[in-house]
Structure 1
Amino acid sequence: MKIVPNLYFIGGMRCGSTTLNLLLSQHPEIFMSPVKEPMYWRAEMLRATGATDTSGVAWPYAEPEAYEGLFDGVTTERWIGESSHYIYAQGTAELIRAASPDARIIVSLRNPAERLFSEFMRGVRAGHFEGEFESFLRRNATFSDDGRIVDFTPESRIGKGQQARLVKPWIEAFGADHVHFVLFEDLEDHAARTAVEIYRWLGVDDSFVPVAVHTQRSGVPRSRWLMKSLTTRKGPLKAVRRFLPRILREQVRSFVYSKTLERKELPPHLDLALRRFYEPDIIELERLTGRNLESWKVRALEAAA
Structure 2
Amino acid sequence: MIIPHFVGIGPQKTGSTWLHEVLLQHDSIVLPRGVKETMFFDCYYNKGLDWYINWFSIGNIEKQKIGEIAPTYFDHLSTINRIYCLNPQCKILISIRNPIAKAISLHHHHLNKGRVSPLFSEAVEKMPEIITSGHYSKYIPTWMDKFGERQIKLIFLDDIQHNPEKVWQDLCSFLEISRIPLPSIANQAINEKKMSKFPWLAKLASATAIKMREYKMHNLVEKAKKIGLYSVYSGGESRIIPLTDKEYENLTRLYYDDIKFLEQLTSRDLSSWYRLTKNNE
Output the TM-score relative to the length of structure 2.
Answer: 0.76
Alignment counterpart, residue 47 of structure 2, candidates 62, 65, 68: 62
Structure 1 position 219, deviation (Å): 4.6
Query: Which residue in the other structure is 1:224 paired with?
Result: 198
Query: Which residue in the other structure is 2:213 paired with?
Result: none
Query: Which residue in the other structure is 2:18 paired with?
Result: 19
- Identity within the alignment, %: 22
Structure 1 position 188, deviation (Å): 3.3
Do structure 1's residue 90 and structure 2's residue 77 form an aligned pair? Answer: yes
Q: Distance in 1 between matches of 2:272 and 2:88?
A: 34
Q: How do 1:35-50 and structure 2 match up within 5 A?
A: 35-42=35-42
Gaps in structure 2 of 5+ consecutive residues: 210-218
- Aligned 8 A contact 1:118 1:218 in 2: no
Query: Which residue in the other structure is 1:242 paired with?
Result: 223
Output the TM-score relative to the length of structure 1.
Answer: 0.71
Q: Distance in 2 between matches of 1:72 and 1:28?
A: 12
Gaps in structure 1 of 5+ consecutive residues: 43-56, 141-152
Alignment counterpart, residue 275 of structure 1, candidates 234, 252, 257: 252
Cα 1:78–1:289 change in 2 (3 A) is farther
Q: Distance in 2 between matches of 1:99 and 1:239?
A: 30
Q: Distance in 1 between matches of 2:79 and 2:117?
A: 33
Query: Which residue in the other structure is 2:66 paired with?
Result: 80
Q: How do 1:1-305 and structure 2 match up within 5 A?
A: 2-34=1-33, 35-42=35-42, 57-58=43-44, 62-75=47-60, 77-84=63-70, 85-136=72-123, 139=125, 155=128, 157-210=130-183, 211-212=185-186, 213-221=188-196, 223-224=197-198, 228=202, 241-242=222-223, 260=235, 262=237, 266-298=243-275
| Count of residues paired in the alignment | 261
Q: Distance in 2 between matches of 1:228 and 1:167?
A: 33
Larger radius of gyration: 1
Matching residue's letter, 2:143: W
Structure 1 position 268, deviation (Å): 4.0
Q: Distance in 2 between matches of 1:289 and 1:107?
A: 13
- Aligned 8 A contact 1:7 1:80 in 2: yes
